[in-house]
Amino acid sequence: MREIRELVRPRPPRLGRSAVLDRCHDVDDLRAAARRRLPRAVFDYVDGGADEEIALAANRDAFRRVRFSPRVLRDVSAPDLATHLFGTQIRAPLGLAPTGYTRMIHPGAEPAVARAATARGLPYALSTVATTALEDVAATGHTNLWFQLYVLKDRALTHALVGRAETAGFQVLEVALDTAVAGHRTRDVRNGLTIPPRLALSTLLDIGTRPGYWTSVLRGAPLTLANLQTARAPGQSGTVAVLNDLFDPAVTWDDIAELRARWPGALVLKGPLAPADVRRAVEVGADGVHLSNHGGRQLDRCVSPLHLLRPAREAAGDRLALVLDSGVRHGADIAAALALGADLCMIGRPYLYGAAVAGQAGVERAIDLLVTQLRRTLQLLGVTDLTELRKLGPELVTLPPPTGSHRPAEQEGGHV
């Protein structure tokens, strides 16, 4: 009976958001919890991709096709996950990617994400289309902030943003190269998503099923493009596609050279870069390349960044740092990317799922899940640190070529 009592010993109950996070054991659990919390249009904004969402599914498929060949009988009692990037030490090879309209996900918005990144010793990249001014994010005290720049038709505003980021103490300028125009995000169009959300009939019906979300939104600060108030009237709403009016489809390498001359810190170019573009990035004076297809949200059918990684490393050698996102959902994904040549992985949707559930605590939970999975993967691979992981990468990791077709993401069990 004593043994039975030990087995069924009750634990003190945890209530509220903490209880929800306790039941989230991987990113998919966070996604399911976020889906229950958010209105459909908001969840679809986070979760969806461009057009048929083929690239969205392909990103995950690339990681799922990775196969490991571990080494055994190695002392892996204390794997070291720390790394250095652009002169700054990072506790783990993971960063929080730039995402727009974060206040729509949680009222704590970008400052909550920045504080979570600070608590875990990771970099955080703020988007041009953030809902918090870059100076206010810098005021959180995070010392490893990146600013993702969209080159706008209004070059004076573009250059002003660069100057503001420098003055606020941002360490890295990351220029998005895949946004000549905004991608066609079919879910957003069908849902009639506006920024800020309009109280249409469907919205009013949604309020009845998710009162907690709408109460927090209505009590929070106004949802605006905080860094672009000179480009749009404060509070002015419109579909997400309104960004087409701001993006400049005429951006060339000459514009990147000009930004290089203006920016004194590390310069990173972000997009689905082929080897020729990686070599051009070296020539223009970039410090890093961020391989990304925008999480499948821009050009549908775009190649997965994981398949661009080895060619990019061959083209860059050791002259550029390589960052990768799009499809990272597990610590094993991070291990695979690092073994194939990446220096850092970034996540977007995973931490937004966490933020939707519990703000800063939810973001920290997403980080902790991935870092724990990464540490365990290294131990099971027989690897003691990231340098060894890179050195042994060709022996440890096999990446088959992409398949010829992909089912839509929602038919893949919902893992996006």
**pLDDT digit string, tens, across residues 152-182:** 999 999 999 999 999 999 999 999 999 999 8
In a domain, 406, yes or no: no
Which pLDDT value is given to residue 211? 84
Mean pLDDT, to the nearest integer, of 280-284?
A: 97
Mean pLDDT, to the nearest integer, of 255-272?
A: 97
Mean pLDDT, to the nearest integer, of 313-337?
A: 97
Which pLDDT value is given to residue 17? 80
In a domain, 254, yes or no: yes
Give the tokens for residue 157. 């505003």
How many structural domains does the chain have? Answer: 1
Confidence band, pLDDT 50/70/90 cuts, at residue 409: very low
Which pLDDT value is given to residue 369? 98
Compute the mean pLDDT over every residue in the chain, rounded to the nearest whole number.
Answer: 90
CA-to-CA separations, 389 to 207, 288, 312, 393, in angstroms, rounded = 49, 20, 18, 6
In a domain, 389, yes or no: no
**How does pLDDT run across 44-68, given as a tens digit for each residue?**
999 999 999 999 999 999 999 999 9
pLDDT at 135 > cutoff 70: yes
A 10 A CB-CB count for 297 gives: 26
Residue 216 maps to which CATH number? 3.20.20.70
Pairing of strands 321-324, 344-347: parallel
Which pLDDT value is given to residue 410? 42
Bridge partners, residue 95, by sequence: 346
0.85 exceeded by pTM: yes
Domain span at residue 291 reads: 25-66+83-380
Confidence band, pLDDT 50/70/90 cuts, at residue 238: very low
The secondary structure element, H or E, covering residue 175 is: strand 172-176
In a domain, 75, yes or no: no
For residues 152, 156, 161, 166, the Cα torsion angle rounded to the nearest 10 degrees is: 130
Which pLDDT value is given to residue 32? 97
Phi-psi category of residue 285: left, alpha or beta, with phi > 0 → left and psi -120 to 50 → alpha? left
Say whether 106 is catalytic: no
Among candidate residues 294, 307, 330, 406, the one labeled active-site is 294
pLDDT at 400 > cutoff 60: yes
For 353-377, b where at least 16 C-beta lie within 10 A, e where not — what string?
bbbbbbbbbbbbbbbebbbebbbeb
Distance separating alpha carbons of residues 151 and 157, to the nearest angstrom? 9
Proportion of the chain in helix, strand, coil states, percent, rounded to 5: 50, 10, 40
**Which one, of 378, 316, 369, lies nearest residue 347 by Cα?**
369
**Which one, of 398, 340, 337, lies nearest residue 370 by Cα?**
337
